[in-house]
């Protein structure tokens, strides 16, 4: 079981707004908060977001470089994927692969793919039953 993931972000306030909205819908609860970071927890796993130092902000994140490609979360249902997709769209959040949505991952894979404020790819996938 994964213990935690820590991600450095370029703008903590923007990331906090984005992730707080999404993670609360997925059952996460705020776990810790301090001057330069915040975390949310679901069961035994938590996600941490920390403000990167200015000296490290010169090179933006890109998922095709070495390192993290994306974070994928379980949705409760296809309906939850649809509901969150509508909210993403209304918030102006970039939804990836719109031309193949909700089957961008394959015909038996119902999901929405989108980006956080630092363009980290996020995936929300419905159960396959």
From first to last of the 129 residues of the chain, give the pLDDT tens digit: 899 999 999 999 999 999 999 999 999 999 999 999 999 999 999 999 999 999 999 988 898 988 899 999 999 999 999 999 999 999 999 999 999 999 999 888 999 999 999 999 999 999 987
pLDDT of residue 12: 98
pLDDT of residue 71: 97
CB 110 within 8 A of CB 57: no
Q: Which domains does the chain have, with CATH numbers?
A: 1-54 (3.10.180.10), 69-129 (3.10.180.10)
- Ordered DSSP codes for 20-71: HHHHHHTT-EEEEEETTEEEEEETTEEEEEEEPPGGG-SS---TTSSS--EE
Q: How far, in Å, CA of 47 to CA of 126, rounded?
A: 21
CA distances from 113 to 13, 49, 75, 120 (A): 22, 20, 12, 10
């Amino acid at each position: 079981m994964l213990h935690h993931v820590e991600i450095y972000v370029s703008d903590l306030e923007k990331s906090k707004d984005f992730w707080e909205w999404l993670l609360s819908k997925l059952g996460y609860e705020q776990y810790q908060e301090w001057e330069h970071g915040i975390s949310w927890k679901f069961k035994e796993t938590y996600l941490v977001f920390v403000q990167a130092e200015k000296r490290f902000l010169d090179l933006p994140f890109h998922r095709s470089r070495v390192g993290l490609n994306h974070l994928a979360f379980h949705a409760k249902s296809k309906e939850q994927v649809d509901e969150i997709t509508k909210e993403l769209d209304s918030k102006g959040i970039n939804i990836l692969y719109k031309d193949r949505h909700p089957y961008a991952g394959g015909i038996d894979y119902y999901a929405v793919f989108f980006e956080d404020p630092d363009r980290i790819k996020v995936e929300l996938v419905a159960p396959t039953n």
